[in-house]
Chains A and B, each alone.
Chain A
Amino acid sequence: MDLVLHSVGGLSLDFSTLPQQLVNGLVVGAIYALIALGYTMVYGVLRLINFAHGEVFMLGAYTALLSSWVMGFTPDAISKAFKADQPLTSSPLNLVIMLLVAMAVCAIIGAIIEFFAYRPMRNQSRIAALITAIGVSLFLQYAGQLFLPANPPPSISQEVNPYQKVVSFVLSPAQMNAAGDVIKPQMDITVTVGKIVMLVTVVILMLALTYLVRYTKAGRAMRAASHDFDSASLMGINVNRVVTFTFMLGSALAGAGAMMLATFEGTAMHPFFGLQPGVKAFVAAVLGGIGNIPGAVLGGLLMGLAETLVTWIGFSQYKDAVAFVILILILLVRPGGLLGSNKVEKV
C-alpha cells in the first residue's frame, strides 16, 4: 500500500511525516505533562485551580535566561565571541545550573504566591479562591509586561548551543523508479539533541517525583492531605507545610519545563509566554483526571499528540482550540478524567 499523500475527505495526509509529528507531539506533551503535574498536585490537595501556574512557568523561563546571563552568556558576549570566530560553548554544567536555578526560584515564587494570595482564601468559597487565582495570574502577566523585557534574545543562542545538533533516524529509505523520480520519499525522524535531553530530563524528574510522593514522609503527608484535608490535619499532619511543599514542588517542575522549552526549543519569551502552555497543561490535567499524578502525565502526552496531529491533518490554525474542545468533551463525557475516579461532584 502506498503510504504517502492519502486523500481522506478532502484532506491530504502526508503519512511520510507522521512519525516525525508523533515524536514532536511526544516532546511537547512531555513539557505539558510536567506543567500539568503542578496543577494536579495543587488541585489534589487544595481543590484549587491554580490559574497562576502558567505565570510561574513564564517567570521560570525568565529566571533561566537571567541565570545564563549571569554565567556570561549575555547577548553582547555571545555576538562578540561569534564575531571573533570563537563562539562560546555552553557546558552541560551551565545547563544544569540554569535548570536548578529556575526550579529553585519557581519553588520560592510558588510558595510566596500560596502564602500571600491563597492562604487567606483557604476558608472562603472555592469561587473566591478561583477569582483570587485569576487575579494573581493577571497581576503577574501585566506586571511582567511592565517590568520584563519582551522577546529577549534566547539565553544560549543557536550558534553556541551544541544541543541544536540534529540526529536523524531513517525509518525507510526513499524509493525511486527507474527514471530517478521519487515515488516514495524518505521516511525519517529528525530530532535535535536538545529534544532528547529534554525527554530524558522529564523522565528523570518524573521518576524523582514518583519516589518523593510514594516513599518519603513528605509524600505520604501530601497523599494524606489530598485524600482528606481535614482528617489529615487532625492526624497531626502540618497541612500548611504540606500545601507549601506541594506548591513548591509543582512550581519547581514548571520552572524545569520552562527552562527546557526556552533553551532547547528556543521559544520566544514574552510576559504572556505562560498562558498557552498553562491552559493546555491544565486541560491535560483534567483529561488525565485532575488530582491524579499518572493521569497528568498521560493527559500531557495525549494533549501534545492531539495538538501535533491536528497540525498534521492541516488545521494548524485551530491548534489552540483543540485544548478547549478536548476539555469540554472530557468534562461532559467523563468529568473525572481518564484515570480519575468518576464520581459526580456533590453539593
Chain B
Amino acid sequence: MSLSKILGTRALSVVLAIAFCFGLDAFVTGQLNEYVVRLVMLAGLYVTLSVSLNLINGITGQFSIGHAAFYMVGAYSAGIVSNAIYKTQPLAAPAYMIISMLIGAVFAAIAGLIVGMPSLRLKGDYLAIVTLGFGEIIRIIVLNQNQWGGSYGYAIAPKYQAGWLIWLLAIICIATCRNLLKSAHGLAFLAVREDEIAAQAMGVNVTKTKVVAFIVGAAFAGAAGALFGHMESFVNPDLFKMEVSFLVLTMVVLGGSGSITGSVLAGATLFILPELPRIVSFKMSLGLLLSVLLGIGVLVWMNRKFLEKYHEPDKVKRTLVVAGANIGLVVLAIVVGKLLNNVPVFGTTNYDANKIRYMILAVVLLVIMLLKPTGLLGHHEFSWDWVKRVLNRNKTGEASA
C-alpha cells in the first residue's frame, strides 16, 4: 500500500471520528430525554473500559478482573483535585475536564503500577484472583475514608456532561490501542500473549511488557472514571463493585479477547441492550429478552455447526436456505418470548435494569463460552482493506472469500 493510500484511509478515519463526536454532541444537545443522553455517555465510558481491559486481557494475554478499581481511582482522584481547584480558582468547564482526565489517568496508572508490579509475576487464575483482591482492597479503603464521604459518597464539584468528550476519549483509546498494535511495543504485547518463553528468548522484557500494558489499560480506565465522576457529580464506592469488573470482562470476552473492534461493539451493545425496552418504551419483558438472547446463541451455533456442513452448489438456493433458517429462528425466538410473557415471573414489565443487566450478562457469558470461547470476532479486526474486499466482492459477484 502506498503512502498516499495510507494517509488517505488514516485521514478518512480521523474525519469520521471527528464527525462522529460532533454528530453525537449535536444529537445529545438536541435530545431532551435526559435518560437517553446518559445512556449514550455511559455506553461511551464502557467502550473505553472494555477496550482498555482488552489491552490487558486480550492483547497481552493476562487476566485481570479488577478493572473497576482503576475506574474508581480515576473518579475519586479527579474529583478530589477538581474540588480543590474549584474552591480556589474556577476555570472553564472543558479545562476542568482535561485536567481531570489527566489526573485520573495518572493516578490510575500509579495504582496500576502498584497492583501490577507484584501481581503480574503470577499467571492465569492466580493473577485473576489477585487483581480481584486488589480491586476489593482499594474499594474497601476508599469506603472507610470519611473525608471522602465513606459509604455515603463523594460530591464532585463541577457537574459537566460532555458526551463528545467521553466518546473522544473512547476514540483516543481505540486509536492508541490500534496504533500500539502496529508498533514494536504492541508486537511485544502479542508475543507475550502467544508464548512467554519464546518472547523472552527473542529479547522481549516480559515483566516490563506486562506492566506497561497494565499501566496503559489502567490509565484509560482512570480517565474514563474521571469523566464519569464529573458526569454524575456524585460517586460512591458501591458504583465500583466487582460486578462492574465482571461486566467489562464480559464485554471483552463477548467481543473476542484481542479484538479491539469486538470490544467496542460488545461494549456498546452489552451496555445498551438491557436498557432497550425503556428507550423504545416498548412493552418488552424479561421473557422476550431472554428468548432473543437464547435465539442469538442458537443462531451462532446453527450457523457454525449446521450450515458449515450444508453444501449446496446453487448459490441462490443456498442463500435462501441460510437466510430462511436465520429469519425463522429469530421469529421463533420472538414467539417463544411472547409466550413466556404470559408466565408471571418472566412477564414483569417494571423491572430493574441493573438486575436484568447482570442476569443477561451471565447468560451471555455462559452462552458465548460454551458455543464460541474465542468470542464473536475472535482476533479479527475491522479494517479498510476488509471494507474494500467486501465492496469488490459485491461488484464482481464473487462470493468466495
Q: Which residue of A lies closest to B359 (CB)?
A: A142
- The answer to whether B140 and A138 touch across the interface, beta carbons within 8 angstroms, is no
A332 neighbours in B (Cβ, 8 Å): 118-119, 121
Given A131-B253, A136-B366 in contact, is the A321-B246 Cβ separation under 8 Å? no
A347 at the interface (CB under 8 A from B): yes
Report how far A33 CA is from B104 CA in the complex, Å.
41
- The answer to whether A134 and B358 touch across the interface, beta carbons within 8 angstroms, is no
A32 neighbours in B (Cβ, 8 Å): none
B133 at the interface (CB under 8 A from A): yes
A324 neighbours in B (Cβ, 8 Å): 132-134, 136-137
A49 at the interface (CB under 8 A from B): yes
- The answer to whether B345 and A147 touch across the interface, beta carbons within 8 angstroms, is yes
- The answer to whether B63 and A130 touch across the interface, beta carbons within 8 angstroms, is yes
A22 at the interface (CB under 8 A from B): no
Report how far A347 CA is from B373 CA in the complex, Å.
21
Interface readout for B185-199 with A: 1 if CB under 8 Å, 0 if not?
000000000011100
A126: which of B124, B132, B140, B249 is its contact (CB, 8 Å)? Answer: B124
Q: Report the minimal beta-carbon distance from A69 to chain B, rounded to whole angstroms.
A: 20
- The answer to whether A134 and B65 touch across the interface, beta carbons within 8 angstroms, is yes
Q: Report the minimal beta-carbon distance from A287 to chain B, rounded to whole angstroms.
A: 12
Among B133, B286, B359, B361, residue most surrounded by chain A Cβ atoms (within 10 Å): B133
Report how far A124 CA is from B119 CA in the complex, Å.
24
Report how far A325 CA is from B103 CA in the complex, Å.
27
Report how far A317 CA is from B345 CA in the complex, Å.
38
Q: Which residue of A lies closest to B63 (CB)?
A: A127
Q: Report the minimal beta-carbon distance from B375 to chain A, rounded to whole angstroms.
A: 10
List the interface of chain B (C-beta within 8 A of A): 63, 65, 118-119, 121-126, 128-130, 132-134, 136-137, 140-141, 143-144, 195-197, 243, 246, 249-250, 253, 286, 345, 355, 358-359, 361-363, 365-366, 369-370, 373
- The answer to whether A128 and B125 touch across the interface, beta carbons within 8 angstroms, is no
Report how far A327 CA is from B136 CA in the complex, Å.
12
List the interface of chain A (C-beta within 8 A of B): 49, 117, 120-121, 124-128, 130-132, 134-136, 138-139, 141-143, 145-147, 282, 286, 317-318, 320-321, 323-325, 327-328, 331-332, 335, 345, 347
- The answer to whether B355 and A146 touch across the interface, beta carbons within 8 angstroms, is yes
Given A131-B249, A135-B362, A345-B123 in contact, is the A49-B129 Cβ separation under 8 Å? yes
Report how far A127 CA is from B132 CA in the complex, Å.
15
Q: Which residue of A lies closest to B369 (CB)?
A: A132
- The answer to whether A320 and B122 touch across the interface, beta carbons within 8 angstroms, is no
Interface residue SS majority, chain B:
helix
B359 neighbours in A (Cβ, 8 Å): 139, 142-143, 145-146
A131: which of B130, B133, B355, B365 is its contact (CB, 8 Å)? Answer: B365
A327 neighbours in B (Cβ, 8 Å): 129-130, 133
- The answer to whether B122 and A335 touch across the interface, beta carbons within 8 angstroms, is yes
B196 neighbours in A (Cβ, 8 Å): 347
- The answer to whether B137 and A321 touch across the interface, beta carbons within 8 angstroms, is yes
A142 neighbours in B (Cβ, 8 Å): 355, 358-359, 361-362
Q: Report the minimal beta-carbon distance from B294 to chain A, rounded to whole angstroms.
A: 13
- The answer to whether B125 and A126 touch across the interface, beta carbons within 8 angstroms, is yes
- The answer to whether A121 and B137 touch across the interface, beta carbons within 8 angstroms, is no
Q: Report the minimal beta-carbon distance from A346 to chain B, rounded to whole angstroms.
A: 10
Give the 4 A-B CB pairs with smallest separation, nearest first: A324-B133, A135-B365, A139-B362, A138-B362
A282: which of B129, B134, B370 is its contact (CB, 8 Å)? Answer: B129
- The answer to whether B366 and A132 touch across the interface, beta carbons within 8 angstroms, is yes
Q: Report the minimal beta-carbon distance from A163 to chain B, rounded to whole angstroms.
A: 33
Report how far A298 CA is from B123 CA in the complex, Å.
25
B363 neighbours in A (Cβ, 8 Å): 139
A318: which of B118, B133, B140, B195 is its contact (CB, 8 Å)? Answer: B140
B243 neighbours in A (Cβ, 8 Å): 138
Q: Which residue of A lies closest to B351 (CB)?
A: A146
Q: Report the minimal beta-carbon distance from A46 to chain B, rounded to whole angstroms.
A: 11
A145 neighbours in B (Cβ, 8 Å): 355, 359
Known pairs A128-B373, A134-B365, A325-B133 / 10 extra A-B pairs, C-beta < 8 Å: A117-B370, A127-B63, A127-B128, A131-B365, A132-B369, A323-B133, A324-B132, A328-B137, A335-B126, A345-B123
Given A130-B125, A131-B365, A142-B358 in contact, is the A321-B249 Cβ separation under 8 Å? no
Q: Which residue of B lies closest to A317 (CB)?
A: B144
Report how far A297 CA is from B246 CA in the complex, Å.
30
A136 neighbours in B (Cβ, 8 Å): 362, 366
Q: Report the minimal beta-carbon distance from A319 to chain B, rounded to whole angstroms.
A: 9
Report how far A146 CA is from B119 CA in the complex, Å.
36
B345: which of A131, A132, A146 is its contact (CB, 8 Å)? Answer: A146
B132 neighbours in A (Cβ, 8 Å): 324
Report how far A147 CA is from B359 CA in the complex, Å.
12
A317 neighbours in B (Cβ, 8 Å): 140, 143-144
21 CB contacts below 8 A, A to B, read: A49-B128, A49-B129, A124-B369, A126-B124, A128-B369, A130-B125, A131-B249, A131-B253, A132-B369, A134-B65, A134-B365, A138-B243, A138-B358, A141-B362, A142-B355, A147-B345, A324-B134, A325-B137, A328-B119, A332-B119, A335-B122
Q: Report the minimal beta-carbon distance from B61 to chain A, rounded to whole angstroms.
A: 9
